[in-house]
């Protein structure tokens, strides 16, 4: 599907990945571009570049579980494609499990329901590699069992099933993308931050960086702009639509290597502290990306060390 001229809406678009997706969508020359975010965690400043590049960008500070409000936006903006990225992040689900799980599920339900009612045509729903839990085999392709370990992961898995049920029952034109771990500029470094912003913050503040567990747990890290590009390709490519696609680098990286890379980018050669495992942490993650390579010619561009340098440079300038 040609995205040029279409009306596109990004939920969670003031967040980390959503704001990069918004930047990337501008290159497709949409007819209309809309971001909906309640700024629970996102920041309007994440959209500064997007507003500069596309002055017609519309921003609604709205909770997407508010069905009427979202319906009115979809109707007023005559939206064709919804990119659904709004979420409550994993760390919040360790502190407020019931609220987080309910919110994640309800957000997906609202978006699906409005799709069923015809308020937009096509959905790209953002899932997470967390739904797979710890790898029972690698590389983890899209058929890997869903073995969620945290309330966040379980709710994201439930949301995926919900999207699939709306596809099968009501013919909703929906595709599920499963990014693995993302990093890059604009990743939230305040409440519920992930390891990369936390390590950068600690080193900059003269504190020793902390690794939970032995650091030999692995993740598949992608630079955020590569993943945003994958989401655009999914929407643009008819062959990819309707299924589930992993978006990742296909490279397994230990947390030790990650933290050493960050330390190098920050010229830090001090000690690293080890703390007990975080509850629910997965041990091993390596994505199978053959499907994305085949269907959307997905070729992530950014090497880890280059991406970490760009990420650190962004935090240093902020």
Distance, in Å, from the CA atom of 266 to the CA atom of 39, rounded to the nearest integer, reads 30
Residue span 84-113 as binding mask against ligand NAD, x where in contact by CB under 6 A, dash where not: -xxxxx-----------------x------
From 7, 100, 128, 302, residue interacting with ligand NAD (rule: CB under 6 A): 128
Stretch that binds ligand NAD, among 123-131, 209-217, 256-264, 284-292 (CB under 6 A): 123-131
Q: Answer for the pair 175, 111: CB distance below 8 angstroms, yes or no.
A: no
**Could you report how far apart the first and last alpha carbons of the chain are, in Å?**
37
> By CB under 6 A, is residue 69 in contact with ligand NAD?
no
From 182, 218, 225, 246, residue interacting with ligand NAD (rule: CB under 6 A): 182
CB of 178 to ligand NAD, least distance (A): 7
Instruction: Choose between 207 and 224: whose C-beta lies nearer to ligand NAD.
Output: 224
> By CB under 6 A, is residue 16 in contact with ligand NAD?
yes
Q: Before 198, cis peptide (omega within 30)?
A: no
What phi, psi does 147 have (nearest 5°)?
-125, 55
Q: At CA 290, angle to CA 288 and CA 295, rounded to 5?
A: 135
> By CB under 6 A, is residue 15 in contact with ligand NAD?
yes
> By CB under 6 A, is residue 150 in contact with ligand NAD?
no
Instruction: Choose between 179 and 207: whose C-beta lies nearer to ligand NAD.
Output: 179
Distance, in Å, from the CA atom of 313 to the CA atom of 301, rounded to the nearest integer, reads 18
Nearby residues of 283 by Cβ (< 8 Å), 6 or more positions away: 134, 135, 217, 218
Instruction: Choose between 247 and 265: whose C-beta lies nearer to ligand NAD.
Output: 247
Q: Which of 105, 119, 132, 152 is catalytic?
A: 152
From 41, 200, 245, 292, residue interacting with ligand NAD (rule: CB under 6 A): 41
Reported in sequence order, the residue ranges of the chain that DSSP labels E, i.e. its strands, are 7-11, 32-36, 58-60, 81-84, 122-126, 173-179, 181-183, 210-212, 218-219, 221-223, 244-247, 253-254, 273-275
Strand partners, 247: 179
Distance, in Å, from the CA atom of 149 to the CA atom of 137, rounded to the nearest integer, reads 16
Find the Cα–Cα–Cα–Cα dihedral 100, 275, 250, 10, rounded to 10°.
Answer: 30
Instruction: Choose between 7 and 93: whose C-beta lies nearer to ligand NAD.
Output: 93
- Catalytic: 152? yes
> By CB under 6 A, is residue 311 in contact with ligand NAD?
no
CB of 267 to ligand NAD, least distance (A): 26
From 6, 7, 10, 12, residue interacting with ligand NAD (rule: CB under 6 A): 12
Stretch that binds ligand NAD, among 37-45, 203-211, 232-240, 251-259 (CB under 6 A): 37-45
The footprint of ligand NAD (CB under 6 A) covers 11-12, 14-18, 36-42, 63-65, 85-89, 107, 126, 128-129, 156, 179, 181-182, 188
């Amino acid at each position: 599907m040609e995205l040029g001229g279409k009306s596109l809406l990004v939920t969670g678009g003031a967040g980390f990945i959503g704001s990069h997706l918004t930047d990337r969508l501008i290159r497709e020359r949409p007819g209309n571009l809309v971001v909906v975010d309640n700024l629970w965690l996102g920041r309007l400043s994440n959209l500064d570049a997007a507003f500069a590049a596309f002055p017609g960008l519309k921003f609604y500070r709205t909770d997407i579980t508010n069905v009427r409000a979202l319906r009115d936006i979809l109707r007023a903006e005559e939206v064709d494609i919804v990119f659904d990225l709004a979420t409550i992040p994993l760390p919040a689900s360790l502190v407020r499990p019931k609220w987080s799980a309910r919110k994640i599920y309800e957000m997906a339900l609202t978006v699906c329901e409005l799709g069923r009612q015809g308020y937009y045509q096509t959905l790209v729903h953002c899932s997470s590699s967390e739904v797979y839990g710890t790898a029972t085999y690698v590389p983890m392709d899209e058929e890997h069992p869903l073995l969620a370990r945290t309330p966040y992961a379980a709710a994201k898995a439930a949301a995926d099933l919900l999207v699939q049920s709306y596809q099968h029952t009501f013919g909703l034109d929906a595709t599920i993308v499963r990014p693995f771990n993302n990093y890059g500029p604009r990743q939230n470094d305040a409440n519920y931050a992930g390891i990369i912003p936390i390590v950068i913050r600690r080193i900059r503040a003269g504190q020793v960086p902390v690794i939970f567990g032995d650091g030999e747990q692995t993740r598949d890290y992608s630079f955020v702009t590569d993943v945003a590009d994958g989401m655009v390709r999914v929407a643009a490519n008819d062959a990819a639509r309707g299924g589930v696609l992993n978006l990742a680098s296909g490279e397994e990286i230990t947390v030790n290597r990650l933290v050493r890379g960050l330390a190098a980018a920050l010229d830090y050669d001090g000690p690293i502290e080890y703390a007990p495992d975080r509850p629910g942490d997965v041990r091993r993650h390596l994505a199978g990306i053959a499907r994305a390579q085949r269907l959307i010619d997905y070729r992530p561009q950014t090497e880890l060390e280059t991406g970490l340098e760009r990420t650190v440079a962004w935090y240093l300038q902020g």
